[in-house]
Copies of this chain bind each other. A is one copy, B any other.
Amino acid sequence: MAASLLNDRDIAFMLYELLDAESLTRRERFREHSKETFEAAMDTARSVAEKYLLPIRQKTDLIRPEFDGKDAHLIPEIKTAMQAVIDAGLASATADFDMGGMQLPSTIACALSTHLTAAGMSTMGYTTLTNANANLIEAHGTAEQIEKWVRPMREGRFTGTMAMTEPGAGSGLADLITKAVRQDDGTYRITGNKVYISGGDHDLTENIVHLVLARVQGAPKGIKGISLFIVPKFLVGDNGEIDARNDVALAGLFHKMGGHAITSTSLSFGEKDGAVGYLVGEENMGLSYMFHMMNEARLFVGTGAAVMALAGYQYSLDYARERPQGRLLAEKDPHSAPVNIIEHSDVKRMLLAQKAYAEGALALCLYGARLHDDEKTAPEAEQREQAHLLLDFLTPIIKTWPSEYGLRANHYAIQVLGGAGYTNEHPVEMFYRENRLNPIHEGTTGIQSMDLLGRKVPRNQFAGYKACIKAITETIIAAKNVAGLEDYADTLEKALKTLDDTTQTVLGASRSMNIDAAFSNSVKYLDVFGHVVVAWMWLKQGLVAQRALDTPLHDSDEAFYRGKIQAMRFFFVSELPEINHWATLVRELDTTNFDMQPEWF
């Protein structure tokens, strides 16, 4: 079966009909661009994905990276594919022209990445991390650091990592103990161990730029004593030449359930005389800098999860269209021909759920990318500020909802294929294994829920929260005036009221009761918020689709828009009502979890 990777029609819908990406070309930063250059980049991405990444996708899954006791080695096809991505300019799509980038909007870059991710999955992890690393140094480093480390990353000669997690402190960054000792020459010597460092070693590029969180001697305890360092695998001379190996050793590789193309490493810094590190910005400000990279990584986790969901949906859809099996229940004649399984109501349910999850998640991620463009390039300061507020607020949802529901989508993709889906004759089980990481890395779902409820919602007198409610309300008002969407608008309005009541109650209670008890259903709160936000994304899509359906259309366009309306209906009828029970748990301050005693398990 030659399955299509993704639905191009849908990506164009998202970009140009939903998010008006073309309007970005009127901004100064993107004035060299036009819809044509966007589409040319998209064609390039699709072509590189199909030519270099897709053919090796299964091979990267089957042949894991190897550790020879010193270095990690990948199959050479990964290097070839990465080089093709770099040569096509896709690795630095958003970077400045004068850094060798394409200076594309993030919205377009995010759309480009869907093709590459669908075909290349974990291979693209190297590029994503490298970009986020370079963006951090560009934002917080010195001009010299940018020249020395960012430029080669933009050119694809170096890759970058984020080295946070330690064996003794996973999500608990406050307890990290990697040490940094200031030297007379202004550099630092770094000593410590980091684990689960993605891309922490490989043989793809000349050098690897680790961004390492460590504690300078005498720094305060907790998160206020963390600094950020550039710690390269190889030192680099003043003219950019590769110099001696730094004291960074690969201690081992982790064997993951999925995502085998990108190494997951255990790194030892300073086993000999200390790894040379270069401070980024000021001492003890490291965590705030790291969040520049982390927030970007969180958006990419969400997007990756959405793309895995889309890829599984597309694959299982193509399969269901072609696989004859069984008869409709209404058909009693055993002599009748079997139907293709797409005709069975329960298969339609599993495909609709995938469509609702995957396209809802993608719309949310692209909306986030559009906010990223707006916070950087919108003409008015007020617009930029609003976009920043909203993106910052939505980050835990953009990271988590696609991760949790994208995985469910992949569950259904396997289920549509049945026994075949459980074997590696089809890629859906690989998508499922790969996607399982997304609710974990860059902050687990539990961590994100605390971030949302404990920080993002109340921060700045609920500024982000209010901006989000306002944006949703605008869509509701618009939908109330479109025939056919009134009921959806009313339903979302009620859901928003439920969300708001829940928010007020739980935050009010958290001031007068034990906060661990009050927040003990924080994940359910995140579920409620996530579902409301994705329902909003569906209503936005429904608005575009309904308006299109109210004009004369070609048959294929009509079918496309009807599909959007039906997926919106599925989400509103089948998914959104789930929030009522979840909200009740949160609002009634149920303490079942909190009350459970360790010795009772």
Q: Which residues of A contact B (CB under 8 A)?
A: 165, 168-172, 174-175, 195-196, 220-224, 254-257, 264, 317, 321, 324-330, 334-335, 338, 340, 342-352, 355, 411, 414-415, 418-425, 429, 432-433, 436-437, 439-441, 444-446, 449-450, 454, 514-517, 519-523, 559-560, 562-563, 566, 569-570, 573-574, 577-578, 580-581, 584-585, 590, 592-601
Contacts and interface: CB of A to CB of B under 8 A. Distances in A.
B593 A329 contact: no
Given A592-B569, A592-B574, A222 B601 contact: no
Contacts of A169: 325, 338
A254 B592 contact: no
B415 A330 contact: no
A128 to B, nearest CB: 18
A339 to B, nearest CB: 10
Nearest to A578: B581
Contacts of A581: 577-578, 580-581
Given A172-B325, A256-B424, 6 more contacts: A169-B325, A223-B334, A328-B516, A559-B600, A562-B597, A569-B592
A415 B429 contact: no
Contacts of A171: 325-326, 418
A560 B597 CA distance: 11
Contact of A254 (B351, B423, B570, B593): B423
B172 A418 contact: no
A563 B599 CA distance: 8
28 contacts: A165-B419, A170-B325, A171-B326, A172-B325, A172-B327, A175-B326, A221-B335, A224-B334, A254-B425, A257-B422, A257-B424, A257-B429, A329-B454, A344-B516, A346-B449, A350-B446, A352-B593, A411-B436, A414-B440, A418-B444, A559-B600, A560-B600, A566-B592, A570-B592, A570-B596, A573-B585, A577-B581, A580-B581
Contacts of A594: 345, 348
Contacts of A168: 324
Contact of A601 (B338, B432, B563): B563
A460 B220 CA distance: 75
A45 B42 CA distance: 59
Nearest to A220: B334
Which 10 A-B pairs give the minimum distances between C-beta atoms? A222-B334, A345-B520, A563-B600, A172-B326, A346-B446, A349-B593, A257-B429, A221-B334, A254-B423, A255-B424
A414 B407 CA distance: 14
A346 B425 contact: no
A423 B325 CA distance: 37
Contact of A444 (B224, B415, B584): B415
A130 B276 CA distance: 62
Contact of A440 (B329, B422, B577): B422
B433 A257 contact: yes
A547 to B, nearest CB: 18
Contacts of A338: 169, 172, 175
Nearest to A598: B342
Contacts of A441: 419
A306 to B, nearest CB: 17
A597 B559 contact: yes
Contacts of A595: 566
Contact of A170 (B419, B429, B449, B598): B419
Contact of A418 (B170, B418, B515, B566): B170
